[in-house]
Structure 1
Amino acid sequence: MKICIIDDDNTCHFIARLLITKILVKPDILQFFNGQEAFDFIETWQHNPESLPSIILLDINMPVANGWRFLDMLRQLGNQYRPAIYITSSSQDHRDFSRMQNYDEVKGFLPKPVSKEILEQILIEE
């Protein structure tokens, strides 16, 4: 299973990577520090679906291209690539929860720090 972590925080990358490796045997983890880096990768490999992640853990507050911008760019590709995307954030702003409803691609919201139990449930379901 290929999983992508898009977050500008090194600690969040470390925790998510650590938890994923405790849940899955030999996961393939891609890491990006902003939405533009992740989008560039997906755009480059869009015609090679096995290179793309099936699950994306997406922070919404990042420099260069935040999570919302990443989702908009992903939609503009207009192809059949449809990963399961989970927003990860420490935000408690009701506007973020409302905005999330506008994206069918988003399967859910994971509060930071992500817990092993919640992550395990997601990885097993997908």
Structure 2
Amino acid sequence: MESLFQDVKYGLRMLAKAPAFTAIAVLTLALGIGANTAIFSIANAFMLRPWPVKDAERLTVVAVSDKNGDPQPLSYPDYLDYKQQNDVFTEMTGFDLDLAGFGWQGHSDRIVMCYVPSNFFSMLGLHA
């Protein structure tokens, strides 16, 4: 234990002798810890915690893919067929993301739109 105390004391003396190195090392550690904390906070909020919807642990995603495993869009008529022939899930809903241009008073932006069927919010226990 005495050896550990001497090593720490020696390390602190060396850091005090090189203030520029110490400042860069402390700044690097602070940035690394801060970035790690921010990334984990985002991951925790969006991936690790259950979504704030009804029966979040029972939600599942069904997707269509081609023979290479690449995701493919599902048409609305196909969705309706899946929904009508469903005998596995309690309820089914879907969504479709799309990009659009939005202009107002001389400004234009690209926005993300999400198309959802009429039962989307009620199935998730949300109020639109």
Give the TM-score band, short-chain normalised: under 0.3
Q: TM-score, normalised by structure 1?
A: 0.27
TM-score (normalizing by structure 2): 0.27
**Bigger radius of gyration, 1 or 2?**
2
Structure ranking higher in helix proportion: 2
